[in-house]
Chain A
Amino acid sequence: MASDTAAASELSTEDGVRRRDWIHIAALGTAGVGGASVLFPLVSQMAPSRDVLAASSTEVDVSAIQPGQSIKTTFRKQPLFVKRLSPEEIARAKADDGANMRDPATLADRTKAGHEDILVTMGVCTHLGCVPLGAAEGENKGEFGGYFCPCHGSHYDVAGRIRKGPAPLNLKVPEYSFKSDAVIRVG
């Protein structure tokens, strides 16, 4: 019985770190490390899974697109605009290359050498992700003759550069390459 009360009183005293306290600290610390490492798979499982990450690629036949026309297709579940610029549009874009822009870029930066009439951009407004108008016939192309996002009024020019409105960046140009003069491979 005496040992009982001794143990109880020893436990209730708070006279600094006792010599053998380290074992409790080590045990609790290890348990904490274990608990924290369990969080890793639980958080990681919400990141894109392997089938989503597997870089999907899209091939687009651009030969049928007439100058001044665009087509809408999809790339990684998002809209993709492919536009064949008319000579007037090319001239207009080049004329604006030096204009005061929020996200300065030249037409040459945004197209492939030798194919500067083919403009490939994501159809996702860089403001809050709506799909801009202007890819289909008869849609509002905005004040700069390119794309216009109706959600919050962002105007993109013929080269897909942001010229007016809240969007911070130009329409994104995805990675792509020409497999031939007629076919591009996006992704």
Chain B
Amino acid sequence: MSFAWAKQYEPQTAFTKWLDEKLPFPRLVYNAVGAGYPVPRNLNYMWNFGVLAGFCLMIQIVTGVVLAMHYAANAQVAFGTVEHIMRNVNYGWMLRYAHANGASFFFIVIYMHIFRGLFYSSYKAPREMIWLLGVVIFLLMMATAFMGYVLPWGQMSFWGAQVITGLFSAIPLVGEPLQVWLLGGFAPDNAALNRFFSLHFLMPFVIAGVVILHIWALHIPGSSNPTGVEVKQESDTVPFHPYYTAKDGFGLGVFLILFTTMVFFLPNYLGHPDNYIEANPLSTPAHIVPEWYFWPFYAILRAFTGDLSIPFTGIVLIPAKLLGVIAMFGSILLWFFLPWLDKSPVRSGHYRPMFRKFFWFGLIPTMIALFICGGAPAEEPYVVISQIATAYYFLHFLVILPIVSQVEVPKPLPFSITEAVVGKDKPGGTSGGGAIDAGSVVEGLPGTATDGSLQPAE
């Protein structure tokens, strides 16, 4: 799309010519994920997860629409209809397990996608909008997954609905009425179950819409790549099809092997046994945990055990409950500001020694610690660990990242993607490359690049 050498769609038959005039849909596909989209030639396997995430969304929509044909969102029968699906509907067990594990795999894929973006700074200009839309998709996914988990109306469903809507009751003044409004009652019941079902059905299509915007925004600057150096010349790129369709096909195969292993051999491993007990408003399970993909954020929520008060006066400024809620939502919302918090002109973590250390030895262990603490009972030592980890989490993004991006000395960048791939071999047929001593150039941001290597968007 954006590069001058991108292949043009040429309809071959009379029919495709006619179609191209009336509704150029094949042209759209050709330019989006076909031979008409030039992609950096050096993408590694971490770049497979975008396509996989789109595939997961499709799995969830297809299996979800099918399950909705047999499910009834009524507190009296919801649990029973899920069992009806498992026992009576043809292949119902397969479809339900695919949907339940599909949610988990969607999150695995999306976390890989997000942390790839964090390591390679894919959020930086000119790709801020892709990143912002991605965070929106992630938030929508979390809401969708939460509401979906309520639908089987097991014990964890019910108490998850109770606890998560309870988060909103922490908001001063409007909190309590807000929770009652969200639930349509004073406790989760038919009203809540029905609206969650309605929204759970709707949201994936909203997500699909934002995904289209996400891909649209991607095609303006084109894909980033592991060197972080922008595309300069045709030899830096290969057409998406067949090169990356083949690679994504292989990635999809590996993904499906892992996914079906879970669906057919360990379908309940990622779930919680308590959700096979029908919802009982009179008895809370001993140990309430959300689904595993929420654990890091759940740990941040629970890290705040003390009120924020003025010492020795007993005047409470912010109660602990509200602090936890602010921190939990803040931990994701701050990702919206990442493109402006990290101002290093170098994108890839490979060329940022200090950033890389904080990423591998700071952020990743922190996320693992938060993950473990979120799934553990609220007792020591997990509380203290989650507090340390939460503190580091915010320090990392809000303090360390901006400072590191100022003080660190990046390693020399390759002159171009081609050079990074095939060595210092002079790229044929392009100008400008030979004049600069490759290997010593630190590439500026594309907007500031003086050699005009970035082609204008169409």
A and B touch in the complex (CB under 8 A): yes
Specify which chain B residues have a CB less than 8 angstroms from the CB of A52 in the assembled complex.
Answer: 88
Q: Which residue of B lies closest to A5 (CB)?
A: B428
Interface residues of B in 55-108 (CB under 8 A from A): 62, 66, 69-70, 84, 87-92, 94-95
In the complex, the answer to whether B235 meets A1 with C-beta atoms within 8 Å is yes
Q: With A27-B249, A41-B94, A45-B95 in contact, do A1 and B88 touch (Cβ < 8 Å)?
A: no
Q: With A27-B249, A49-B89, A49-B90 in contact, do A42 and B235 touch (Cβ < 8 Å)?
A: no
Encode A114-144 as 1/0 by CB contact (under 8 A) with B: 0000000000000000000000000000000
Specify which chain B residues have a CB less than 8 angstroms from the CB of A4 in the assembled complex.
Answer: 235, 422
Specify which chain A residues have a CB less than 8 angstroms from the CB of B84 in the assembled complex.
Answer: 49, 51
In the complex, the answer to whether B69 meets A1 with C-beta atoms within 8 Å is no
Q: Which residue of B lies closest to A7 (CB)?
A: B238
Distance (Å) between the CB of B105 and the closest chain A CB?
16
Interface residues of A in 20-41 (CB under 8 A from B): 27, 31, 41
Specify which chain B residues have a CB less than 8 angstroms from the CB of A1 in the assembled complex.
Answer: 235, 422, 425, 427-428
In the complex, the answer to whether A44 meets B235 with C-beta atoms within 8 Å is no
A50 within 8 A of B: yes
In the complex, the answer to whether A42 meets B422 with C-beta atoms within 8 Å is no
Specify which chain B residues have a CB less than 8 angstroms from the CB of A45 in the assembled complex.
Answer: 66, 69-70, 89-92, 95
Q: A1 CA to B419 CA in the complex, in Å? A: 10
Distance (Å) between the CB of B366 and the closest chain A CB?
39
Q: Which residue of A lies closest to B62 (CB)?
A: A42
Specify which chain A residues have a CB less than 8 angstroms from the CB of B235 in the assembled complex.
Answer: 1, 4
Q: Which residue of B lies closest to A8 (CB)?
A: B238
Q: Point out the residue from B70, B91, B249, B428 that lies within 8 Å of A31, measured CB to CB.
A: B249
In the complex, the answer to whether A41 meets B90 with C-beta atoms within 8 Å is yes
Specify which chain B residues have a CB less than 8 angstroms from the CB of A50 in the assembled complex.
Answer: 87-90
Specify which chain A residues have a CB less than 8 angstroms from the CB of B92 in the assembled complex.
Answer: 45, 49
Q: Which residue of A lies closest to B426 (CB)?
A: A1
Specify which chain A residues have a CB less than 8 angstroms from the CB of B242 in the assembled complex.
Answer: 11
In the complex, the answer to whether B88 meets A44 with C-beta atoms within 8 Å is no
A46 within 8 A of B: yes
Q: Point out the residue from A11, A27, A31, A47 that lies within 8 Å of B90, measured CB to CB.
A: A47
Specify which chain B residues have a CB less than 8 angstroms from the CB of A27 in the assembled complex.
Answer: 249
Specify which chain A residues have a CB less than 8 angstroms from the CB of B249 in the assembled complex.
Answer: 27, 31
Q: A45 CA to B92 CA in the complex, in Å? A: 7
Q: Which residue of A lies closest to B90 (CB)?
A: A44
Distance (Å) between the CB of A39 and the closest chain B CB?
10
* Chain B CB within 10 Å, residue with most, of A1, A11, A45, A50: A45
In the complex, the answer to whether B91 meets A49 with C-beta atoms within 8 Å is no
Q: Which residue of A lies closest to B256 (CB)?
A: A34
Distance (Å) between the CB of B453 and the closest chain A CB?
18
* Chain A CB within 10 Å, residue with most, of B87, B89, B422: B89
Q: Which residue of A lies closest to B41 (CB)?
A: A4
What DSSP secondary structure best describes chain B's contact surface?
helix
Q: A41 CA to B84 CA in the complex, in Å? A: 16
Encode B240-251 as 1/0 by CB contact (under 8 A) with A: 001000000100
Q: A49 CA to B427 CA in the complex, in Å? A: 64
Q: A11 CA to B239 CA in the complex, in Å? A: 11
Q: Point out the residue from B69, B91, B427 that lies within 8 Å of A41, measured CB to CB.
A: B91
Q: A50 CA to B90 CA in the complex, in Å? A: 7
Distance (Å) between the CB of B225 and the closest chain A CB?
17
Q: A130 CA to B242 CA in the complex, in Å? A: 57
Specify which chain A residues have a CB less than 8 angstroms from the CB of B62 in the assembled complex.
Answer: 42
Specify which chain B residues have a CB less than 8 angstroms from the CB of A51 in the assembled complex.
Answer: 84, 87-88
Specify which chain B residues have a CB less than 8 angstroms from the CB of A41 in the assembled complex.
Answer: 90-91, 94-95
Specify which chain A residues have a CB less than 8 angstroms from the CB of B66 in the assembled complex.
Answer: 42, 45
Q: Which residue of B lies closest to A40 (CB)?
A: B91
Q: A17 CA to B407 CA in the complex, in Å? A: 57
Q: A27 CA to B422 CA in the complex, in Å? A: 29
Distance (Å) between the CB of A71 and the closest chain B CB?
31
In the complex, the answer to whether B425 meets A49 with C-beta atoms within 8 Å is no
Distance (Å) between the CB of B66 and the closest chain A CB?
6
Q: Which residue of A lies closest to B87 (CB)?
A: A50
Q: A46 CA to B235 CA in the complex, in Å? A: 51
Distance (Å) between the CB of A23 and the closest chain B CB?
10
Interface residues of A in 38-69 (CB under 8 A from B): 41-42, 44-47, 49-52
In the complex, the answer to whether A44 meets B91 with C-beta atoms within 8 Å is yes
Specify which chain B residues have a CB less than 8 angstroms from the CB of A31 in the assembled complex.
Answer: 249
Specify which chain A residues have a CB less than 8 angstroms from the CB of B422 in the assembled complex.
Answer: 1, 4
Q: A11 CA to B238 CA in the complex, in Å? A: 12
Specify which chain B residues have a CB less than 8 angstroms from the CB of A44 in the assembled complex.
Answer: 90-91
Q: A133 CA to B114 CA in the complex, in Å? A: 67
Q: Which residue of B lies closest to A52 (CB)?
A: B88
Distance (Å) between the CB of A114 and the closest chain B CB?
39
Q: Which residue of A lies closest to B252 (CB)?
A: A31
Residues of B at the A interface (CB closer than 8 Å) are 62, 66, 69-70, 84, 87-92, 94-95, 235, 242, 249, 422, 425, 427-428
Residues of A at the B interface (CB closer than 8 Å) are 1, 4, 11, 27, 31, 41-42, 44-47, 49-52
Q: List 16 A-B contacts (CB under 8 A).
A: A1-B235, A1-B422, A1-B425, A1-B427, A4-B235, A11-B242, A31-B249, A42-B95, A45-B89, A45-B90, A47-B90, A49-B84, A49-B88, A49-B92, A50-B89, A51-B87
What are the 6 tightest A-B residue pairs by CB atom distance, in nearest-first order?
Answer: A41-B91, A49-B88, A44-B90, A51-B88, A50-B88, A49-B89
Q: Give me 12 other A-B pairs in contact (C-beta within 8 A), A27-B249, A45-B70, A49-B84 excluded.
A: A1-B425, A1-B427, A11-B242, A41-B95, A42-B62, A44-B91, A45-B69, A45-B90, A45-B95, A49-B92, A51-B87, A51-B88
